[in-house]
Amino acid sequence: MNKESDSLLKKQKEYFMLLGVTVYEGQTIEYKLKNLVNLSLISAIGYLVTLLKKIF
């Protein structure tokens, strides 16, 4: 019974560690995508401002 309990506890620890890593990676990807979108938007706005200055 004790060996089964230890084995189950070990499996639970591995599962929760894997789950934590997966959540962390998901948050990291989300953060990077948000920054990429903001950077792209800033670049696009900067390009439009430069273009409008040349036109007018």
d(CA 50, CA 45): 9
Long-range CB contact pairs, 43-52, < 8 A, 24+: none
pLDDT (0 to 100) of residue 49: 81
Mean pLDDT value across residues 39-53 = 78
Q: Indicate if the pLDDT at residue 42 is higher than 80.
A: no
pLDDT (0 to 100) of residue 1: 61
pLDDT (0 to 100) of residue 40: 77
Q: How confident is the model at residue 19 (pLDDT cuts 50, 70, 90)?
A: confident
pLDDT (0 to 100) of residue 37: 78
pTM for the model stands at 0.54
